[in-house]
Amino acid sequence: MIGFIERAQRPTPEAFVTRAEEVLGLSGELVKLWERIDPRAAPPWFRQWPKIESAARLIRSWEPLLVPGLLQSADYARAVLRGVPGATEEEVEEALAARLQRQTIFNRASPPIIAAVLDEGVLYRPIGGKQVMRQQLQRLLLLMDNPRITIQVVPLEAGVTTGLLGGFAIAQLSEAKDWAYLESASDGQVTDRVDEVQDISLRYDTIRAWAHPLYVTKGLISEAMERYEQ
């Protein structure tokens, strides 16, 4: 179990960290490190998901409205987080730090494979303004150069309705059950129930079947960038 945790192949429970501190005679060193992968700025219902992401070997996601958090630029993420009603600038920056911390999974010795599917409308929703969107789309193109990251766009003319009610992600862990995260307007849900995860996986496969191949997606993103340069 310790080996799986050290290799980031299994989520790290807080109880394990505190018990390890006792056994090793430490006084908070491990807890400080653990807090770096436990974003307290996130709402309670979401806090389990970054731990699952950090242990995943494959993450498949669908987003009908926004660029997924793992792929967001700092300015794009800041603009999204500022849209939370009543959020102070301090709260926005805390949440931003937590979101960017999630992206450090790309720095692992063996980072997860990311298979993201977006609705084409995501490319044309000017979150944060033209400059922010141009930088965000440039980031997507750079990420697509990574052989472990694929991004595909579902065209508007496809008229697909599956998944329009909200985004979701499915995380596959080594030698452990799969997990899924579902978004909603007020909160979200993290589940490992086999029937629910299988249903979400089927939805993902259905949506991805309508998506453009990678080379077409790159072209669409480049065209959208040109719109924000005008």
85-121 residue pLDDT tens: 898 998 899 889 888 989 999 988 889 999 999 999 9
170-207 residue pLDDT tens: 999 987 789 999 987 667 899 999 999 999 999 999 99
Quick one: tokens of 121? Answer: 């409308």
Q: Which CATH number among 3.30.870, 1.20.58, 2.160.10, 3.10.110 corresponds to the domain 37-229?
A: 3.30.870
pLDDT value for 18 = 82
pLDDT value for 11 = 62
Neighbours of 35 (CB within 10 A): 14
Nearest partner of 188 among 48, 24, 55, judged by Cα? 48
Mean pLDDT computed over every residue of the chain? 88
Neighbours of 74 (CB within 10 A): 16
Q: Select the highest-mean-pLDDT range: 92-96, 157-161, 222-226.
A: 222-226
Cα 165 versus chain centre, distance: 18
pLDDT value for 133 = 97
Give the pairing of strands 113-119 and 168-173.
unpaired
Ramachandran category for residue 154: left, alpha or beta (phi over 0 → left; psi -120 to 50 → alpha)? beta
